[in-house]
Amino acid sequence: MKSLDHIPQTKIQRASKLLKIGAQVSTNYVKYLGNRVVSNEDKSRKKLNEANATDIYDGLSELKGSALKMAQMMSMDDGILPKEYVEKFSLAQFRVPPLSGPLARKTFKGAVNSYPEEVFTQFKTESSYAASIGQVHEAWIDEKKYAVKIQYPGVAKSIVSDLRLVKPIALRILKLKKEDVDDYFNEVQEKLLEETNYIHEKESLIESRLLSKHLKNIVIPEVNESLSSRTILTMEWMDGWHLSEYVEQESNQEKRNQIAQALWDFFQYHIHVHHKVHADPHPGNFKVNKDNKLVVLDFGCMKEIPLDFYQSFFKLAEIENINNDTVFLDVLKELQLINDSDTEEDIEVIKSTFRTLLTIINKPYQFETFDFSDPEYFKQLLMLGNELIDDKALKNLKGKRGSRHFLYVNRTLIGLLGLMNQLQAGEVVVQNYKSHAPIMVEG
């Protein structure tokens, strides 16, 4: 894979790159119109999607930062984009063009005032993994091996301007008003800025390692604080397969189930006991080591769940609350899914939609154990997602819908279900995390 010697950093450079991507997409569309004359619609559309996905991904890979991060986020949900985009954008999880060795050394020197070889006994200038915000290098101090994450230059400074460029496009595509999405864009901006602050990630990693030490089959790396800064994060190296690689290579169902149970317990424990969540659940952030234990990586995107939101949100995990019309209506209002300006017809649309949605999504929580290898469950989820996208009554609803906290909590829970499906997990004990909790938080 070709490495990069330069990343556009100024507003003008980045805006120019985005305009070039847009121009190439327009060219692809003209070709599509021509192909449609001599080929069938489905084949022509597939070619268009493949061409656009490649051109957009290649362009965003050169920009790095928030633009590429948003593509990665969208790749985690099959219901948002055509599969050609999902397949291409999923590469942003940990396989993007890296910085060249000289640029990586220069970036490291700018952060810690020393070149890597002056700090480490050995340092690999070619990166092992490269993602949207930073890339990881292998390094050693004597016999101790480390993962050194180097943030791409200019990424933090470009977030606000990148989102300003992307926002009008998103509004046009989704046919939304600025005032209806400001809270969500602010939430995304806050989280992306946190992700570019490796001091914040270092502290989250240390805390999560401490809080998770009693969870079974969970491993979290130890940080080297003296060799970490706002843009450099150094931690012990963790060998293992990334989760997507593990799924392809491990056929033993008992081992898969062990990893699935550990993954489920890790998320449920932190959500319900500490009201915090690792809000970036894609396969590139997890490894499985030789002892068949789950290694949790990348704590840059951590979401703290406010108590009032947590209490209202998880009331809807209980079927009796969904079926109790009075309670259900009150919770929908607490979660800002129903507004004072809604008509009776609007309210009925929202109640019906969320009653159906929650009954399916929360199905695992209604059992002591749940089989995540059941294709029928995920078929129901996919069909429901497609129905909601095409639902005209939902599209006609006006105004903002839902608390800003939905964005990352929903992303996490849907992402977790996707990982459980990839693992083809068998019988998972749903409330198993409680057995590991030293102190349970009520409510």
Q: Closest Cα partner for 12 from 154, 175, 194, 134?
A: 154
Report if residue 346 sits inside a domain.
yes
Of 274 and 4, the one with more pLDDT: 274
Report if residue 165 sits inside a domain.
no
Report if residue 186 sits inside a domain.
no
Who's near 61: CB < 8 A, 6+ residues apart?
Answer: 68, 92, 96, 97
Report if residue 26 sits inside a domain.
yes
Tokens (6 digits) for 289: 């080591």
Which of 404, 420, 435 is the last residue in one of the domains? 404
Domain that holds residue 66: 11-93
Please say whether the beta carbons of 286 and 227 come within 8 A: no
Report if residue 313 sits inside a domain.
yes
Confidence of residue 443 (pLDDT cuts 50, 70, 90): very low
Q: pLDDT at residue 367 above 70?
A: yes
Rama region for 246: left / alpha / beta (φ>0; ψ in -120 to 50; rest): alpha
Count of domains forming the chain: 2
User: What would the pLDDT profile of 213-254 be if each residue is shown by its tens digit?
Assistant: 999 999 999 999 999 999 999 999 999 999 989 999 999 999
The pTM assigned to this predicted structure is 0.82
Tokens (6 digits) for 333: 């209002």
Tokens (6 digits) for 149: 């994450």
The predicted structure's pLDDT at residue 81: 56
Which of 64, 93, 122 is the last residue in one of the domains? 93
Burial of 167 (0-12, 13-18, 19+ CB in 10 A): middle
The gap from C-alpha 266 to its chain's centroid, in whole angstroms, comes to: 16
Report if residue 34 sits inside a domain.
yes
User: What would the pLDDT profile of 250-308 be if each residue is shown by its tens digit?
Assistant: 999 999 999 999 999 999 999 999 999 999 888 889 999 999 999 999 899 999 999 99
Report if residue 38 sits inside a domain.
yes
Which of 75, 93, 111 is the last residue in one of the domains? 93
Report if residue 141 sits inside a domain.
no
Q: For residues 408 and 157, what is the distance between their CA atoms, to the nearest angstrom?
A: 23
Q: Is the dihedral of CA 132, 128, 244, 305 positive or negative?
A: negative
Q: What is the mean pLDDT of residues 21-41?
A: 62
